């Protein structure tokens, strides 16, 4: 941690920060233990919460421009953590881009690039800062991200000042206070948070400021593509280490045309539509799973 970051980081954020080293933070192969760890962290997330001062940071984006949070007072800031090989990151980006199209002219957005969730031969674990910058630049281009992607250090210092989760989202109000926290990036919840905040001038408390819902539809629909980016090593590690997760994501690709209109949305929908869509998704997954088992049986 730099001296400037230490001086500007809020006391409560320092208390929540996890000690890390580049070696312990960046793993070469995905293993189920990381999935279990993330699940435990999601149950009891660490980091800043709504109402606390947002930890300041000074980071460069993939183009080399230096950004400092404390210099952006006067307009809300959206900060989203993620990586190119993270299925949640790739799944959520479609809806997030729709939200950015609606509010980007009144807000400043950033992705904060963290460790590779599923490293492989194409996108390996980060061993040098320039390598991490290059992989972050690949992510921005591949996913067509229209806002800056900040490159954290190899130990994930800035990320851990905010969260221990791989794909969280934050809204920081115009006064530098966290107004909204979502443990999983999700366009519709972010849309609602920004609508509420901007309606009251960009500062202050908003309803539903802390979202811990596991928004998995977009991950199931698009997530496998994120894992495949890492290479054959990435997909092998997931099938070997977490077969149910791999099967779920694979099945999602088979019914993507039906799921995409809901999975890629940025605006909230009614509860009734959500329930109907959930029933449809469950029926489609059961049908796809049955077809896959029959196909295996015939091959056997």
pLDDT tens sequence across 183-219: 999 999 999 999 999 999 999 999 999 999 999 999 9
Mean pLDDT, residues 218-237 taken together: 97
| Higher pLDDT pick, 273 / 227 | 227
User: What per-residue confidence (pLDDT) applies to 274?
Assistant: 53
User: What per-residue confidence (pLDDT) applies to 297?
Assistant: 52
CA atoms within 13 A on the CB side of 71: 6
Residue 116 counted as domain residue: yes
User: What per-residue confidence (pLDDT) applies to 32?
Assistant: 80
pLDDT above 70 as % of the chain: 80
pLDDT of 44 above 80 = no
Mean pLDDT, residues 238-254 taken together: 93
Lowest mean pLDDT among 24-38, 92-106, 121-135, 183-197: 24-38
Residue-range definition of the domain harbouring residue 175? 3-211
Residue 187 counted as domain residue: yes
Mean pLDDT, residues 248-255 taken together: 92
Six-digit token pair at 27?
């793993």
User: What per-residue confidence (pLDDT) applies to 16?
Assistant: 43
User: What per-residue confidence (pLDDT) applies to 145?
Assistant: 98
pLDDT above 90 as % of the chain: 75
Mean pLDDT, residues 242-263 taken together: 93
Mean pLDDT, residues 154-165 taken together: 94
Residue 248 counted as domain residue: no
pLDDT band at 28 (very low <50, low <70, confident <90, very high): very high
Mean pLDDT, residues 77-95 taken together: 98
Q: How many domains does the chain have?
A: 1
Residue 75 counted as domain residue: yes
Residue 226 counted as domain residue: no
Residue 230 counted as domain residue: no
pLDDT of 230 above 60 = yes
| Higher pLDDT pick, 45 / 189 | 189
pLDDT digits (tens, 9 = 90+) for 65-79: 999 999 999 999 999
pTM for the full predicted model: 0.84
Residue 127 counted as domain residue: yes
pLDDT band at 269 (very low <50, low <70, confident <90, very high): confident
User: What per-residue confidence (pLDDT) applies to 34?
Assistant: 75
pLDDT of 39 above 70 = no
Residue 298 counted as domain residue: no
User: What per-residue confidence (pLDDT) applies to 6?
Assistant: 34
Domain harbouring 78, CATH code: 3.40.30.10
Highest mean pLDDT among 92-96, 255-259, 284-288: 92-96
User: What per-residue confidence (pLDDT) applies to 150?
Assistant: 98
Mean pLDDT computed over every residue of the chain: 87
Mean pLDDT, residues 155-163 taken together: 95
């Amino acid at each position: 941690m730099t001296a400037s970051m230490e001086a500007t980081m809020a006391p409560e954020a320092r208390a929540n920060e996890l000690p890390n080293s580049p070696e312990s933070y960046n793993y070469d192969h995905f293993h189920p233990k990381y999935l279990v760890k993330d699940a435990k962290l999601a149950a009891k997330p660490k980091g800043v919460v709504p109402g606390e001062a947002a930890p300041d940071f000074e980071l460069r984006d993939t183009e080399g421009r230096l950004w400092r949070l404390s210099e952006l007072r006067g307009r809300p800031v959206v900060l989203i953590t993620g990586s190119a090989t993270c299925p949640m990151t790739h799944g959520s980006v479609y809806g997030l881009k729709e939200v950015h199209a609606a509010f980007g002219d009144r807000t400043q957005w950033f992705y904060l690039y963290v460790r590779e969730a599923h490293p492989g031969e194409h996108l390996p674990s980060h061993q040098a800062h320039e390598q991490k910058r290059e992989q972050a630049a690949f992510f921005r281009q591949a996913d067509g991200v229209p806002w800056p992607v900040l490159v954290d250090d190899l130990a994930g210092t800035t990320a851990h000042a905010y969260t221990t989760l791989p794909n969280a989202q934050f809204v920081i109000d115009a006064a530098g206070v966290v107004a909204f926290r979502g443990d999983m990036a999700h366009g519709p919840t972010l849309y609602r948070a920004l609508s509420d905040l901007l309606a009251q001038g960009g500062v202050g408390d908003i309803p539903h400021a802390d979202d811990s819902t596991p928004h998995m539809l977009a991950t199931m629909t698009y997530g496998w593509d994120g894992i495949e980016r890492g290479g054959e090593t990435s997909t092998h590690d997931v099938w070997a280490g977490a077969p149910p997760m791999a099967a779920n994501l694979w099945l999602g690709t088979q019914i993507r045309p039906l799921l995409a209109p809901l999975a890629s949305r940025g605006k909230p929908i009614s509860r009734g539509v959500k329930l109907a869509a959930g029933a449809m998704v469950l029926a489609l997954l059961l049908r796809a799973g049955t077809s896959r088992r029959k196909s295996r049986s015939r091959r056997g």
